[in-house]
Amino acid sequence: MAEKVALITGGARRVGAAICRLLHASGVDLMVHYRRSADAARALQAELNAARADSVALVQADLLNLSSLPTMVAETVRQFGRLDVLINNASSFFPTPVGDITEQEWDDLVGTNLKTPMFLSQAAAPHLKRNQGCIVNIVDIHADRPMRNHVVYSLAKGGLVALTRSLASELGPEVRVNGVSPGVIMWPEDDRWADELARQRIVQSTLLKRVGDPEDVARTVRFLVFDAPYITGQIVAVDGGRSIHL
């Protein structure tokens, strides 16, 4: 497990931070991308570097600016000398009811959830091929079961599923490409999801009747990175069974 280097987008908070902590505990050096969460990113970097010196670096970028993506890859290789793992985790999420969808909303949701993973994977591919590396895309169960009033988000994540399978075909045999599809893991950080009754209805739609944990996603990512040498082109649902019970 030693001497692997991972670049993770949106790694400073929430599920991204859980993935960072678990991969780091497994011996991975990290380049952690953030956009606006500078304080959280620096705190995570200090925490992990205290455990293993000089093992975590930060890169700030707006992922909608495609010119920044090759720079992120180049900075990772400059800092650590290699790149073995790309985790496409960063994601915009907000409703887009039909009739009110704007081009700006389209560009944001499709940009972060599909366009950026495509172009960042392209930039990283030569390095990943050199090291027999892998890509893990964080998808969503609503890629297959569209979420009401979230048309653009659902189609963007559906595109990410297709991208995962296409890249597995294009980049094999050197690079494995898989996806993790979370269900109810952490509630979104806005008032629309604050209603406890609405939350309980969603929880009851899972077969396990409970909310998952960020570490559930992180453990699945770690499995795909370290313990799945014969798995590629697959989407692993981490959703308590909700995707078969919607």
Active site annotation includes 153: yes
Instruction: Tell me if 17 sits within 8 A of 215, measured CB to CB.
Output: no
If you ran DSSP here, which 8-state letter would residue 147 be given? Answer: P
pLDDT in tens, 226-244: 999 999 999 999 998 888 8
Q: In the structure encoding, which two tokens stand for residue 146, read together? A: 């569209």
Marked catalytic residue, from 6, 143, 153, 158: 153
Per the structure block, which two tokens stand in for 6? Answer: 């991972």
HSE toward the beta carbon, residue 15, CA cutoff 13 A: 31
Q: Which CATH number fits domain 5-244: 3.40.228.10, 3.40.50.300, 3.40.50.10210, 3.40.50.720?
A: 3.40.50.720
Distance of CA 170 to the CA centre of its chain: 20
pLDDT in tens, 75-114: 999 999 999 999 999 999 999 999 999 999 999 999 999 9
Contact criterion met (CB below 8 Å) for 33 and 9: yes
What number of other Cβ atoms are within 10 A of residue 243's Cβ?
21
Going by the DSSP 8-state scheme, the letter that residue 232 receives in this structure is -
pTM of the predicted protein model = 0.94
- Residues 34-85 pLDDT 10s: 999 999 999 999 999 999 999 999 999 999 999 999 999 999 999 999 999 9
- Share above pLDDT 90 across residues of the chain, in percent, rounded to a whole number: 81
